[in-house]
Amino acid sequence: MNFEGNPLSTLLATLSPYIVRVTVLETIQRSTEYLTRKGVESARLNAELLLARVLSLPRMRLYLEFERSLASKETDLMREYVKRRGQREPLQHILGGTNFCGLEMLVTARVLVPRPETEILAELAWQFLNRLPGEPLVLDYGTGSGCLAVTLTRKSSRCRCVALDVSPEAIEVARKNAEAHLVTERITFCLSDRLAGLSPGTRFNLLVGNPPYVSSGEIPLLDPEVRQFDPLLALDGGADGLDHYRYLAEHAAEWLADSGKMMLEFGDGQQDAIRSLLEGQNWIVEAVVNDYSQRPRIVVARRPVSVQK
């Protein structure tokens, strides 16, 4: 039977937000079920983080307010967020940012969402920079959101950084993050395809980066959050995923100071190929560092000794 247009059902629909109030706990439970059905990982955590944002509360406060009823505006907003998340839009896009090394970073669809494993790269980099004298100069190759450039200039108070990206939209996001963290004076933004746009004669003490490393053929196999919402430009590393590593192995040394280093994140199973690319160009591979799942993820290489400058 169809009740649409029925005066009673219209009245009920109008009044329902005032009569049927859902509580915080019910909202979390229903949203969790919905997100689980849609294949979202850590559905409950996602639901809680979205609701915390809707209610402008720290997530843990939700636990003290399980019985609180949501206002209809809050329910509407939550419904919208949960629907977007159910369509596999990344949580970070819906929230508009993410935490990286304890710093809030603005994130939009124009940049790769910063990942926890890149925090390991950041820490290795700032520890190295803090051991250097003077004002070390860093190149952030493919800065994206600027998470590395901003974090390094924050954690290493003497360093300066060139944040390079081929995407003007990414540079814009990185600049906003630098402004928010008050480090614009120590970061030079450089719109450049690979290393072509750098000022000749610059010598960096460190090149860091998380270049695109997914092989073109594997892009369709990535999670929807990555495949549909991270910029392809930040993911696609060519036929074998190694285009940028091959390029950097060949061209980065001439931009590095003596005893300069390169620290690069890479993808699953690429360790051997990257080591041989680097060693083939006389780089000294000093370390390969695992990520939180104990998979090799970051290579630390020292500049070849004999390089034509």
Interface contacts to ligand GLN, rule CB under 6 A: 112, 115, 210-214, 222, 226, 235
Least CB distance to ligand GLN at residue 95 (A): 18
User: Toward ligand GLN, which CB reaches closer, 97 or 267?
Assistant: 267
How far is residue 233's CA from residue 231's CA, in Å, rounded to a whole number?
5
Q: Residue 231: what residue type?
A: P
> Closest approach of Cβ 127 to ligand GLN, in Å?
22
Q: What is the 3-state secondary structure (H, E, C) of 245-260?
A: HHHHHHHCHHHEEEEE
With respect to ligand GLN, which residue has the nearer C-beta, 136 or 146? 146
- Joined together, the tokens standing for residue 284 give 């000294």
**C-beta of 197: minimal distance to ligand GLN in Å?**
20
Q: How far is the CB of 210 from ligand GLN (least distance, A)?
A: 5
3-state secondary structure 125-181: HHHHHHHCCCCCEEEEECCCCCHHHHHHHHHCCCCEEEEEECCHHHHHHHHHHHHHC
Task: Report the residue number, 28 or 213, with the smaller CB distance to ligand GLN.
Answer: 213
Taking the least distance from each CB to ligand GLN, the nearer of 136 and 209 is 209
Between 94 and 257, whose beta carbon lies closer to ligand GLN? Answer: 94
Closest to ligand GLN by CB, 48 vs 265, is 265
Find the radius of gyration of the CA atoms of the chain: 23
**Alpha carbon distance 177, 137 (integer Å):** 19
Nearer to ligand GLN, 171 or 214 (CB): 214
Any alpha helices (H) in the chain, and if so which ranges? 7-19, 24-37, 43-54, 72-86, 91-95, 116-131, 147-155, 168-180, 224-229, 243-251, 271-280
Q: Find the shortest distance in angstroms from Cβ 304 to ligand GLN.
A: 24
Shortest approach of ligand GLN to residue 208 CB, angstroms?
Answer: 12
Distance CA 243, CA 192 (A): 16
How would you class 146 by CB atoms within 10 Å of its CB: exposed for 0-12, middle for 13-18, buried for 19 or more? buried
Question: Whole-number minimum distance, CB 235 to ligand GLN, in Å?
Answer: 5
